[in-house]
Chain A
Amino acid sequence: MSRAVILSLPRFAALRPQAAPAAIKSILETHGVSATVIDINLAFQSQFKQSVDPKDYDSLDRWMFTSIDLTLEQTNLLKNFINTQVDTILQHQPQFIFISVFCWQCQKSTRLLCEYLRKVTSAKIVIGGQGLINQENGSFSSIPYFAHELARRGLIDHWVRGEAESTVMNIVNDNLPCAGVDTDSYATYSDVNLHEFWDFSDTDPRDYSSGYTSGVLPMETSRGCIRRCSFCDIPTVHGGFRAKTGERLSQEIIHYYEKHEVENYFFHDALCNGSMKDFRIFNESLLEFYENHNLPLRTIRYSSHAIVRSSSQMQETDYERMSKAGADTMVLGVESGSERVRGEMRKNFSNSDLDYTMMMYSKYSIQVYLLLIVGFPNEYEEDFQQTLDMLSRYQKYVADGTIIGVNLGTTLTVEEGAPIYNEWQSFGLEPTNGANRPIGPDWRSRDNPSLTYKERIMRRIRAQEHAVNLGYIFWKGDDQMDILMDKYQQRLARLQGLVH
């Protein structure tokens, strides 16, 4: 019997065990509360997927993030799946059920499961995570609308707004009210160097579709970000940059390596090279560990988001050492090929910085995954062309195996909490479609009026065509096209008065 179960719900990529449940389990068990993690998201994408007709699975999967209707048969399949999961949960006779709502695409499954659970258990249901808001591309909203909805309907007992470290035990101990529990304001920010190591003992990383034999485990190096990109709301959500020390980070990764025999790790936070001092210590500590234990270089491999730095900030020796320590794939928010656009994005790096960075990653055999944003307000056709040209220029890095993916997103949306939302007038924005202020895709640039939402989407499509023709491995294209078509269809229907 577990006093608590912690759930991951569909739908997000089941590449590795999710971080939040492992963190919550660790917090609970450290305080003497037994807890079990159940990954329903994985069950949906593995056992359930294999047990149903592919067309039905595809519809159910798409239902999670679009407005399509399900057939009666598909609805029954979903009900059966949920019932099975509820049975599994109840076997643990939990007093608390914590649900990690990873993103907005998990809202339908969360709503449905809570409805079922409410009928069969008196366990306290607690939800938390980025999916408590309705923003699709952002992390922040002043109001966690989804949490309010479920609370209003009596489907949950509490929601957590922000960090588990400063909230979860207050819920279990009924030490309420507490900042971040059932509030719109965020929980108190914790000291990342005091976090417990996460507990992955309920999940087997090898069960996930990571592409690595021994699986992948998530980790984090920091919370917050050292940069203030104008489209990004991360600093608003996570506060100032808080990084684990290099020593602490290396101790943690070695702990997981020794305990779980997992060789690959993904740092899911905003950047691993925010503090170059700690990043260097981390890499040197790993190299020392290999030497002391007679292990080959790159025994432990890590992938991470990283920022592009100039050659004076991140020298060649840094790339060499990180490669030897085990840097595998770096996710770079490059965003645009135009320096002018990136300037307004406040990305703080030049094209020559980017060229240098790409050259170094290529030279030291570190893979790169590119994130791009199409349709920033000051992106004129010539700026967009520079993005296409950059993709052409970097095709050689696709050929040499450095670039292993590109992701173009669903065009620039104005997200609450981002500087472009707060300072929209200074960015020359105007609201469209009856919005009070620019929000989501409902914005127009006074100086660049031809950059309509449709034009942004058309550029996004052109960029995908270009990248695919160049041989880039293009990630999430189908999902993103489904989302764009679905949202645009809804927008048309709303304007035609069909939907209110």
Chain B
Amino acid sequence: MKLVIDFSFEDRLGIPKTKINVDDYLTLYDGEVKNSLTFDFDCTAGDHELRITHYGKTKHQAACIDYDKHMEITAIIMDDVPLEQELWMGKFYPVYLHPSDNEPTYIQPNLYLGHNGTWVLPFRYPCLNWLIDLRKAGPDIKDTIFSTSDKKLIQAIEFFKGVDDV
């Protein structure tokens, strides 16, 4: 799977650190964030989670009012296709340095990782099929003169399987 993640970030208090995982076990990157990170890795078919963690921000940095040390996801491209609305499916689970009772467990929609914490995007591989299913682009031709159905295809397969080659 080809994965490109683009970031913008504030580095005047130091470059933010990030760890990028797929599910629990595959770490794609761990270190200072960059404007663009590209990965090519094997991915099994099925459901997965892309996890982008912002870490290393200190209480002192969090208290700074002139600059907010942060990173922001500006683009994610999966197998050459940029995510669009799907980006807003990601949930950011902050680790609050100054916890209070009414902070939300997660923030969504959100691509701005100001707090330490992990942004989690569920996806399915092959991701092109996942995106096609989600987007349902193009006209709806069901029940029109143009339609195509599995039922008719199966009927045709059965029909031609048994006939002589003439």
Interface residues, chain A, with chain B CB atoms under 8 Å away: 11-14, 45, 61, 209, 211, 367, 395-396, 398-401, 403-405, 433, 452-455, 457-458, 461, 464-465, 468, 470-471, 473-479, 481-482, 484-485, 488, 491-492, 495
Contact = CB atoms under 8 A, between A and B. Distances in A.
A32 to B, nearest CB: 37
28 contacts: A11-B145, A13-B144, A14-B145, A211-B139, A396-B81, A396-B128, A399-B79, A399-B81, A399-B128, A399-B132, A403-B138, A404-B137, A405-B141, A452-B165, A453-B165, A457-B160, A458-B160, A468-B153, A470-B129, A470-B132, A473-B139, A473-B141, A475-B146, A478-B148, A479-B145, A485-B156, A492-B163, A495-B166
A253 to B, nearest CB: 22
A399 B128 CA distance: 6
A405 B138 contact: yes
B25 interface: no
A8 to B, nearest CB: 14
Please give me the 5 A-B residue pairs with the lowest Cβ-Cβ distance, nearest first: A477-B148, A471-B132, A404-B138, A401-B137, A474-B148
Nearest to B165: A454
B107 to A, nearest CB: 27
B146 to A, nearest CB: 5
Contacts of B165: 452-455
Contacts of A11: 145
A30 B135 CA distance: 48
B148 A464 contact: yes
Interface string B129-166: 10111010111110011111110110111011001111
B133 to A, nearest CB: 7
Given A457-B160, A471-B128, A478 B166 contact: no
Contacts of A458: 160
B160 A396 contact: no
Given A13-B146, A404-B139, A481-B156, A492 B132 contact: no
B139 A399 contact: no
A398 B137 CA distance: 8
Interface residues of B, number: 33
Nearest to A495: B166
A461 B149 CA distance: 12
A433 to B, nearest CB: 7
A13 B156 contact: no
Give the most central of A405, A458, A481, A491: most B CB within 10 Å: A481
Given A209-B144, A454-B165, A461-B156, A468 B150 contact: yes
Given A399-B128, A404-B139, A492-B163, A476 B146 contact: yes
A455 B156 CA distance: 13
A367 B138 CA distance: 9
A454 B156 CA distance: 12
B144 to A, nearest CB: 6
B163 A454 contact: yes
Given A399-B132, A401-B135, A477 B163 contact: no
A474 B150 CA distance: 11
B128 A477 contact: no
Contacts of A484: 156
A211 B156 CA distance: 29
Contact of B153 (A14, A461, A479, A488): A461
A477 B145 contact: no
B147 to A, nearest CB: 6
Nearest to B143: A54
B56 interface: no
Contacts of B164: 492
A485 B138 CA distance: 28
Nearest to A406: B148
Given A461-B160, A484-B156, A471 B141 contact: no
Contacts of A454: 160, 163, 165-166
B146 A400 contact: no
B23 interface: no
A477 B137 contact: no
B104 to A, nearest CB: 32
B128 A478 contact: no
A306 to B, nearest CB: 18
Contacts of B132: 395, 398-399, 470-471
A400 B81 CA distance: 6
Contacts of B80: 396
B82 interface: yes
A468 B132 CA distance: 11
Nearest to A472: B132
A365 B158 CA distance: 40
B125 to A, nearest CB: 13
A468 B82 CA distance: 22
Nearest to B126: A395
Contacts of B140: 211
Contact of A478 (B138, B152, B157): B152
Given A396-B80, A399-B128, A464 B163 contact: no
Contacts of A468: 148, 150, 153
Contacts of A478: 147-149, 152
Interface in B63-117: 79-82
A478 B142 CA distance: 11
A488 B160 contact: yes
